[in-house]
Structure formats: C-alpha cells, structure tokens
Chains A and B, each alone.
Chain A
Amino acid sequence: MPPIFVVLLVICVWISFLNPRFATVPGIMSFLMRAAPAAILAAGQLFVIVSGGFDLSVGSLITLVVLGSSMLIGGDPANTPWVIAVMFLIGIAVGVFNGAVTSWLKVPSFITTLGMLVTLKGFALLWTGGAPRGALPNNFRVFGRNRLSGVPLLDEVPYAVIILLVVAVVATYLLHRTGWGKQLIALGDNPRAARLSGVPTAKVRILAFVASATSAVIAGILLGGFSGVSTNVGDGQELGAISAAVLGGAKLLGGRGTMPGAIAGALTLQALFTLLNLLGWPKPLRDGLQGVIIIGAVAYTAWRERRS
C-alpha cells in the first residue's frame, strides 16, 4: 500500500481522538464535502502531471467559473442550466488551447498555463470590474453545499461527495484502464520513445489538459456553491493540486502516478489542516508546516527510490 494511505489513516485516527464526532458518518461526510473540490482538482491535475506537464491555469479558471457564472446567471435561477453548460465549454476551450500550444508551438506547459493563469484571472476581473458582483442562486449552490437526504445507512450525503465519488471512479478508470491512460504514462515516461512507437502525442496531451480544465470547472461549481462569490476563490489552488498529486506518489515531469494516490494526497492535506486547526495552530503556521511536509514527502520518495 502506498505510504500516503497510512499517513492519511494516522492523521484521521489522531483527529478522532481529539474530536470523536469526526469518526461518525456525518463527520466523515462533512470532511469529504470540504475536501471534494481540492480532491477533484488533484485528480484532473494528475492527468497532466503523468504526461510530463503542469497545469497552473486551474486556479484562475476556478475564479472565472465562479465570477462568470454569477454574472451570466444575473440572479435568475432559470439561467443556471445553460450557464453551467457554457462553463464546461469554456473549460474545454481552455484545455484545448493549453494542450495545443504546448504540443504544436512547443511552449513548455509550465509557461503556457502560467500565461493562461494571468490571462484568465485578468479576464474574470475585467468581466466583473474587479469586485465580486451578484450572487449565485440556490439551484447553482446546491451542488457545493446541500445534502441528499434519505440515503440508506448513511442518512444524508452531500452532493459534493457523490460528485467526488463519480469523478474518482471515472478518473481512475480513464488513467489506469484505458489505452489513453497508458499512452499518457508512456508519453510522460519517455516522450520520444512514445512518439516513435506511434502514440498520437498531441491528441493524447490535449485530452489531458481538457481533463484538467474540466476538473477545474467542476471544482469551481462546488466552491462557488460552498463559499459564494469572491475574486480570490481560485488563488493558489493549482499549487495545492500539484502538491496533492506529488504527495500521492506522482512524479513531476511524468511517467508515474496513481489516481487513488492523488486523491488521497488531497484528502491528507485537508485532514492535516483539520488536525492542526484542532491543535490550535494559527493559519499561517499551518501553511508553513504544509511546506515542510511536501518537501519531506518528496525527499522520502527520492530516498526510497535510490535505495532500491
């Protein structure tokens, strides 16, 4: 079993000692609900990371989804369905752009998506005049903050948790059970060998960026529902997603990574914050410890690799 699952388990047991309500069904459900956007984002980011790239644009895309939805819906709940569809189209367009520029213009994805990070944030702020405007109606926010009641055994299940579960299953299937997933890993492991052995590298890579951007749209819809309209909702989310994937055993610059690991990485970061919060650490110190832990985890993986 990858070490991240052990770490996650230890932290969760520790939290349960400090707060017994955490180990109940409602406690676990609200934990998963808070972790869902980051976990979904980590799942999307992993497709790009195993292919050997980065997607830094997801944080700004989240901000664009939240601000743009609020502008387009304009207070009329009847607009919600088509606005959500438009957001997915925007996400797909961003993903295709990121993948195409990287594949055909040979711009390293770190730079392509860094440019998109700047542009999308600028575009979102330009749209709203720089301030959060309007509010999201309840039929939009339901996905991020409401629960489905009357579920057997579990009683109430947040919609966000159901969405997380679906994303996790679909993403695991796509990465580990399809030809595309194998081609992605081959591409990240050795791009030239992959191309020479007939992998359609551009197509494979573009789809990875589309998957990542789509995950950002889903995360944006959940975050908009959970915490409402703000201009900094997406800030830093891209680095959190990369950290989660790396904690879950993914190798930067590609070739290795597992979907359950990346999702467990995101849950571990969320659990760690919960634990430190219970221990009374102020927020800045929690962020600081996160830095030490990511370095430690990657150093440990590198050390184990050299020993074997």
Chain B
Amino acid sequence: MSAPVNRKPKRAGLPPAFLFLAGAFVGAWVLVSLFGRGQFLTAANITNIFVRSVALGMVAVGQSFAILGGSIDLSVAHLISVTAVMTSFIMQGDPANIARAIAVVVAIGLGVGLLNGLIITKLRVNSLIATLGTGLFMQGLLSTSFQNFAGAVAPEFEVLAYGTWGPVPIPVVMLAVVVALGALVMHRTRFGAHLYAVGGNAEVARLSGLRTDRVLIVAHVITSFSAVLTGLFIAARLGAGAPWVGQDGVYDLESIAAVVVGGTALAGGRGGVLGTLAGVLIFSIMDAMFNQLGTGAFLKQVFRGFIIIAAVASYSFRSKEEVG
C-alpha cells in the first residue's frame, strides 16, 4: 500500500473548510445586502445562524468519529426520533422525571452504539448495511408504539432550547461544549490517535497491535451518544417528541454531508471535528441567506446538493487514485 498511514494529524492551523466558511459568510452578506430583506450582519441574525446549527451540529460531531474511523452511521436519524419520543414520554411534563428520562435515553443510545459497533466489527457487516438495518429496526419499534407526539417535556427542561447564559443562548453553549469535547477526544487522547490510524488503514493498524475492533466500537458509541444529545435538544425545542422528527430533519444524510464538506475523508483517516463545525455553519449560513433572499426552500435544496459535491471535489480533484 502506498497510502500514508498513521500520520499524525495536523494540529496547527484551521482546516481548509474555514476558507469556504468565510467565503459563504461574505457571499451571503453581499447578496443579502444587495437583494435581500433586512440586514445580514445583525447580532440577532448571527445568533440565529448558530442556533440553527445546534441540532445538526451535535450529531455531525458524532458522525465525524464514525467517518474518521472509515465507518458510517445511517441510524442516527432514527435514534434521534427514539430519543425525542422517549424523553417526552417518560417526562410527562413533570420535572421530577427529568433525570430518569435522560438516564433512559442515554442508556438506549449507548446500547445502540454498542450494537452498531459489534455488528460491524464482529459480524463483519458493512457499516452502511449494519446501521441501515438497526435504524429500520428502531424506527419499526418506535412507529409501532407511537403514532404521534408523546407526552411532554417539563418546562424546566425547555431551558436547553430556549434559555440563555448571559447574552448567549444555552443551545449555542451546548454546541460549543460538544465541539470542544469532540476536538479534545479526537486530537488529544490516545483513542483519537488510534481512530486516525484505524481509519487510515485498518489492516496496518491491526498489524501494529491496535485493537481495531474496540476503537471502532467506541467510535460508534460516541456517534450514537451525539445523536441522543440532538434528540434531547429537539424534544426540548418542540416540547415533545414524535416518531418522525429525526427523519424529517434528514439528520443521517445531512450529518454525513456536513462532515465531508468539513473536509473529513469519506474513506476515513483524514479530517476532524472543527472542519465538521465549519460544514454545519456553511449550511446554516446558506439557509439564512436563502430565507432573507426569499427564494423558498426548494431552490435552497437544489444549491445545497451542488455545494456538497463542489466542496468535496475541491478536496479530492487532485487525487491520482481510482475512486469508486
């Protein structure tokens, strides 16, 4: 194999995705100023861009771990639905139940992550099929048991979505903490270094003595845990969970898109959490821009697809390898 393996991740400097982020920001600013309604560069609008990024941002940070390890997780959207529904169903509007609800959904999330990891590593099922399968299974159980919004979250719990910490909304604080923790685990721990090695070349990592299975299982547990955080946030925001909230947000494909736009290689081994944050913010800026330009949701979707392709092409087009 000629692919560079086990190369230490670069620690200095921002990922190139931040260049696109700056470009998207300036572009949106100019376009909205010329053709849009209102101002782009207001505190309210910038805050709004960040708040918009929270739900997708947390799960995309987790998805970065799976993808960096050369795996993928299609089950996150369904796990988000399960989490949102179970949270409000267990809470029933009573603050006394908050701790129990969180404990249950975290346990479910860890279980799902463990199951995904075990199916992929021990049964040797391709991660796409494994997580498609567990996702379908979860959604089947959930949609059989619940047909609509179930229960309600306690008013105190809605602080997660609507509270502020000084001038900063609590959701933005949550996203910042998740990104910081993600970056810390990825770049400053032994597990993080091992994950880069496994994603770069699993066979070489195994031959050099890494327990590759265990690394991938932990990565999947982290991914599922991040989906639980997004599910909790959505339950707080909507006041209750319904069995379709995850799929409606297309969090599976959107989180993968945000990760690769942020510069993480789909094949694994290259990238990082900060790039993912940039990817998510790019999507939110485009959303805010199209809203202010008043072009409607569908034109936004047409452009979003091309942006995903163009961003990844900008990283990949110099490659001499065959890509399938």
Chain B 297-324, CB-CB to A under 8 Å as 1, else 0, gives: 1111111111111001100111101111
Bound CA span A109–B323, Å:
8
CB contacts between A and B, total, < 8 Å: 177
Cβ–Cβ < 8 Å partners of B305 in chain A: 114-120, 122
Please state if B141 and A288 are interface contacts (CB–CB under 8 Å).
yes
- 14 A–B pairs (Cβ distance < 8 Å), ordered by A: A106-B317, A111-B266, A118-B253, A119-B305, A122-B298, A125-B301, A130-B298, A253-B126, A284-B139, A285-B144, A288-B137, A291-B135, A302-B125, A303-B124
What 6 A-B pairs have minimum CB-CB distances, sorted nearest first? A288-B140, A122-B301, A119-B305, A291-B136, A52-B324, A191-B322
| B202 CB to nearest A CB, Å | 13
* Contact residues, B126-181 vs A (CB, 8 A): 126, 128-130, 132-144
Cβ–Cβ < 8 Å partners of B316 in chain A: 105-108
Cβ–Cβ < 8 Å partners of B299 in chain A: 122, 126
Please state if A126 and B144 are interface contacts (CB–CB under 8 Å).
no
- The listed residue (B126, B143, B296) touching A298 by CB distance below 8 A is B126
Cβ–Cβ < 8 Å partners of A302 in chain B: 123-125
Interface centre among B123, B133, B144 (most CB of A within 10 A): B133
Please state if B323 and A284 are interface contacts (CB–CB under 8 Å).
no
Please state if A288 and B139 are interface contacts (CB–CB under 8 Å).
yes
Please state if A252 and B139 are interface contacts (CB–CB under 8 Å).
no
Bound CA span A104–B317, Å:
7
- The listed residue (A194, A252, A292) touching B126 by CB distance below 8 A is A252
Bound CA span A111–B27, Å:
24
| B255 CB to nearest A CB, Å | 11
| B247 CB to nearest A CB, Å | 9
Additional A-B contacts beyond A51-B324, A195-B322, A289-B137 (18; CB < 8 A): A105-B317, A111-B257, A114-B253, A115-B309, A118-B253, A118-B308, A119-B303, A122-B302, A123-B298, A188-B324, A191-B324, A192-B322, A284-B140, A285-B141, A291-B134, A294-B136, A298-B123, A298-B130
Please state if A299 and B137 are interface contacts (CB–CB under 8 Å).
no
Bound CA span A110–B133, Å:
18
Number of interface residues of A (CB under 8 A): 61
Bound CA span A289–B258, Å:
30
A119-B304 contact given A101-B309, A107-B313, A298-B126, CB 8 Å threshold: yes
Number of interface residues of B (CB under 8 A): 51
Please state if A108 and B123 are interface contacts (CB–CB under 8 Å).
no
Cβ–Cβ < 8 Å partners of B298 in chain A: 122-123, 125-126, 130
B234 within 8 A of A: no
Please state if A299 and B319 are interface contacts (CB–CB under 8 Å).
no
Please state if B324 and A289 are interface contacts (CB–CB under 8 Å).
no
Bound CA span A130–B301, Å:
12
| A304 CB to nearest B CB, Å | 11
Bound CA span A287–B130, Å:
15
Write the chain B residue with the least CB distance to A290. Answer: B136
Cβ–Cβ < 8 Å partners of B304 in chain A: 118-119, 122
- The listed residue (A102, A106, A295) touching B133 by CB distance below 8 A is A295
Cβ–Cβ < 8 Å partners of B124 in chain A: 299, 302-303, 306
